Amino acid sequence: MKSNPFNPNSVVSTNLFAGRKDYVLRIVRKLEQVKKGMPSSFFLFGERGIGKTALAKLLIYIAETNDAQLGGLNFLVSYYSADKGQSINTVLQSSLNELTDNISSPVLEKLGKRLGSLLKNGKFSIGAFSFDLKSEEKTIAVRDQLISILSNLIEEIKSEENDKKKDGIIVVIDEMQNIDDIEACAQLFRGIITTLDVKNLGNISFLLIGYESALDDFFKGDPSARRQFDSVGLGVMPIEESKEVLTKGFNEAKVKWDQASLDKYILTTGGYPHSIQLLGHNLIEFDIDDFINDIDWENAIKHTATELQKKDFAEMYNFSGKISGREKILDVLAAAWQPLSRQEISKYTEIKNVYQYLPDLEKRGAIKINQENGTIVLHSNLFRMAILMRIIDKIKDGYLNALIKEKVENGKEEKT
């Protein structure tokens, strides 16, 4: 049996990672600065399945690999995924202990002598104080412990011999929305980063990852932290990148493909990495002749669509028959792959009064309206895929083609 390289439930391996070049370059360029002692941190946000963890995995690979073409980075990196209800203290303690796996034992020994009870038997331990401290005092004590650990650690790894020498530290924390005291995080990180910077030990980067709601909570706790943290919003992939995900996987599975089928049906993924993986998986499963063509696409789409439409979307869109103004608006939003203004929706649906439909669509959870600029998007990319699969045959016959030409195929991508 041929192997199936696509899997929507695991994190893609580095060799099958596709696209996202602008994001990678933007972050790698900043990491080159961190290497020189100028701290820089990031909050990577976006909805579930948009590719945050996959991007982080690639960045970690680049940051550790010392590839001359990608900045020659050689950082000490930890990755930790927060569980629901965890406090930032326990998350950071675990992150530090992740780092120790890659620290040489002479360095650990030296650190142990300097850090006393903070590093015992090769394990970091923070936040152990007497109960009579007030909670603000505890927060400050934790911060000072972290500063003490990190400054000693950075100093040591920077001054190791030749090939053991590191550029600094990158702490990656995924699923930030799970952290209980997220509103206390920004101030904590800002204090740490600033102090290390002043001590000329600014070789540190935090890469935080989570939903947009987590980003909001994070900066609500300390708006000034925006100076230390770049917000990086991950959106759907442009068409060419979406195709690249599939062709890399096809090559890995050693199957050939009909390019015309790929060009036509790629639209059904909405550029959403989770959907691309799901469809890719089903394409490989349905194919019997090692050649992915229209028949495989139609089977895979039919199979995936029934699964999706059975889920929560029945209340939001009539998948079985009658097309009303509501479906037309949702079709337009699905085909666009990006937020649209009311005027644009009106133009492409040819419905004059789109306003009358929007409150109900929002209430049912089908759309989200951006409070700042009034643009409208579908509630989720999974919903988008369910709609696109439903209308792909009509699109082939010309439905909404003007919109797709103007908005999607020209690669006009919405960036945050």
Ligand X SMILES: Nc1ncnc2c1ncn2[C@@H]1O[C@H](COP(=O)(O)OP(=O)(O)O)[C@@H](O)[C@H]1O
Binding site for ligand X (CB under 6 A): 7-8, 10-12, 16-20, 46, 48-54, 245, 273-274, 277
Smallest distance, Å, CB 12 to ligand X? Answer: 3
Smallest distance, Å, CB 211 to Mg ion? Answer: 10
Residues that bind Mg ion (CB under 5 A): 53
Closer of 53 and 89 to Mg ion (Cβ) = 53
Smallest distance, Å, CB 354 to Mg ion? Answer: 34
Angle between helices 212-221 and 185-198 (to 10 degrees): 60
- What tokens were used for 374? 């009034």
Closer of 4 and 187 to ligand X (Cβ) = 4
Q: Which does 235 bind (CB under 5 to 8 A by kind): Mg ion, ligand X, none?
A: none
Distance CA(77)–CA(34), nearest Å, equals 13
How distant, in Å, are the alpha carbons of 94, 111, 179, 298, 404 from that of 227?
26, 31, 22, 49, 38
Smallest distance, Å, CB 248 to ligand X? Answer: 7
Closer of 236 and 366 to ligand X (Cβ) = 236
Closer of 8 and 233 to ligand X (Cβ) = 8
Q: What is the dihedral of CA 311, 315, 316, 320, to 10 degrees?
A: 80
Distance CA(325)–CA(181), nearest Å, equals 44
CB 249 within 8 A of CB 6: yes
Q: Which does 19 bind (CB under 5 to 8 A by kind): Mg ion, ligand X, none?
A: ligand X
Distance CA(294)–CA(308), nearest Å, equals 21
Closer of 272 and 317 to Mg ion (Cβ) = 272
Strand partners, 44: 209, 232
Smallest distance, Å, CB 141 to ligand X? Answer: 33
Smallest distance, Å, CB 5 to ligand X? Answer: 10
CB 47 within 8 A of CB 379: no
Q: Which does 280 bind (CB under 5 to 8 A by kind): ligand X, Mg ion, none?
A: none
Distance CA(290)–CA(174), nearest Å, equals 37
Q: Which does 245 bind (CB under 5 to 8 A by kind): ligand X, Mg ion, none?
A: ligand X
CB 242 within 8 A of CB 266: yes
Q: Which residue is nearest to ligand X (CB)?
A: 51
Closer of 53 and 94 to Mg ion (Cβ) = 53
Q: Which conformational region is residue 175 in: left (phi greater than 0), alpha (psi within -120 to 50 degrees), or beta?
A: left
Closer of 18 and 292 to Mg ion (Cβ) = 18
Cα 307 off chain centre by? 25
Q: Which does 354 bind (CB under 5 to 8 A by kind): Mg ion, ligand X, none?
A: none
Q: Which does 18 bind (CB under 5 to 8 A by kind): ligand X, Mg ion, none?
A: ligand X
Smallest distance, Å, CB 210 to ligand X? Answer: 9
Q: Which does 77 bind (CB under 5 to 8 A by kind): ligand X, Mg ion, none?
A: none
How distant, in Å, are the alpha carbons of 245, 396, 408 from that of 87?
36, 51, 42
CB 323 within 8 A of CB 287: no
**Nearest residue to 338 via CA among 296, 303, 373:** 373
Smallest distance, Å, CB 387 to ligand X? Answer: 20
Closer of 53 and 139 to ligand X (Cβ) = 53
E strand segments, 234-351: 256-257, 291-292
Distance CA(142)–CA(121), nearest Å, equals 20
